[in-house]
Structure 1
């Protein structure tokens, strides 16, 4: 039977909080670090995937990034890709040092935006031997212009971010907009998205549905497609034509330097977070991928 431990570990000058899901059985298990969408806390989807991986024999760690959920860090709910990559590095270090984990057999699973962050860590972290990217949001500046209204749309967000940054530096006040809202045009995702707004899905009290406006430059400038040629680890992508930016996933997959596998299935982006059969399809594919690419000695 899977067990779960509430854990804490250092990430530079802050302490992060996570859930370590451990499989039943003797001996160290291969370890997988798991993370979810931008702005998310571990309870939204990372816990679900980590628990399912533990059911399949892996020691899986989900955690809250700096400034999110139960983890320390200021400002709160501030999306910084480079900081999230750093946090993943420290999460891997925690797994390396845990007695229930086989430090020679480590992988990473990223859902949506965490696909970018897991890849960002893996290019410089040889401890990660394998990657699985589920419904991956993989963008570069060109894709961001397509998604966010062209040059004019991106420029508008950058101008808003500059004003918010000036306010923060002058008064220490963080300006927030909703992550998801169909009624606020400034929302990071200005749509009524059931997953995030439904309390029976992702609309949980642990997730405050707020986006720090000054975070736009780091998000819009992050070039995850350029990471692909630097990845030599085996990479699995699980995606759908109806999920987010499939062209970004295709471009990323085409540019990968190492062994690669693409599983095309069905479902929109949000079904991969908590719905069946998408979650089981993705977890089964990831578990099989990790079993092949993290073999025991």
Structure 2
């Protein structure tokens, strides 16, 4: 397995990724996306590496406004924008001599599973999809906070008028006014465990106008590609995961693992290996077909 630099553009912004390549001819090409505010050296990269170890070319990349990629305002979390990034990544993989003509499949982790669901529902070029510890936002079961949406819209108005984007921390040891209030999130992003040099502990406040009312169930209803759900009773919102899974009508399978919580899916080799094995089995079946 080796890694190579990979770049592509979305709406004029250059996005920077790492392409993980297996020994020999790849069985297919996998595009990965990770959790809220994350970068390619974190969960997305861990799963891309695992897929390359199983014979696939796999791309982990920094979404617009994050890490090494272009885009303003920085640290802006936009689910539909990230779904568009994924579609542009697919276009780039199909055009690149290292991956052209390979079947394209996808892995999304945490919030990235919801973003990936939207991308897959909208893009028939993605032949199969695996969601790992997915956070499947369900606005019917958990209506969005109108206060958060209003705060996000106000921050965006200020940014458009002044070019100044308000940021809050993505995580903090005691929670508070942050993008991710879970203590578990701080223990990953706020410590050497997950705080890689390319990561910025920041969250653009205007993101609330986009993340708060993002819904994944509508995408579940439109999925045509085979889907595998990998989750845990201790991961985020297992009830939402079950509803998402029940809504999918395409060929599907589920694997429930034992985890401490949500975050160990990002870096626990036992969980990553089990999830990657399941993904590889699904993706091989697609490649063979």
Query: Which TM-score band (shorter chain)?
Result: over 0.9
Distance 1:80 1:108 in 2: 19
RMSD: 1.5
In structure 2, what is the Cα distance between the partners aligned to 1:156 and 1:125? 33
- Cα deviation code 1:257-282 (max 9, x no counterpart): 21000101111110100013111111
Superposition deviation, residue 156 in structure 1: 2.5
Instruction: Give the equivalent residue in structure 1 for 2:93.
Output: 95
The equivalences for 1:226-245 within 5 A come to 226-245=218-237
| Cα pair distance change 1:258/1:14, threshold 3 Å | same
Measured after TM superposition, the shift of residue 28 of structure 1 is: 4.9
Q: Secondary structure at the match of 1:236?
A: strand
- 1:110 counterpart residue number: 108
Give the aligned length. 286
Which secondary structure state, in structure 2, belongs to the residue aligned with residue 221 of structure 1? coil
TM-score, structure 2 length as denominator? 0.94
Q: Structure 1: 5+ residue runs without aligned partners?
A: 146-150
Whole-angstrom CA distance in 1 between matches of 2:155 and 2:37: 18
CA distances 1:1-28 after superposition (whole Å, capped 9, x unpaired)? x011011112221111100011101x45
Q: TM-score, normalised by structure 1?
A: 0.92
Gaps of 5+ in 2: none
Q: Which residue of 2 aligns with 1:178?
A: 169
Aligned to 2:271: 278
Q: Describe how 1:158-177 pairs up with structure 2 within 5 A.
A: 158-177=149-168
Aligned to 2:8: 9
Contact 2:26 2:55 in 1 (8 A): no
| SS of match in other structure, 2:160 | helix
Q: SS state of the match for residue 181, structure 2? A: coil
Q: Distance in 2 between matches of 1:9 and 1:121?
A: 17
In the TM superposition, residue 239 of structure 1 has moved relative to its aligned partner by 0.1
- Measure how far apart 1:160 and its partner are: 2.1
- 1:196 matched to 2:185? The reply is no
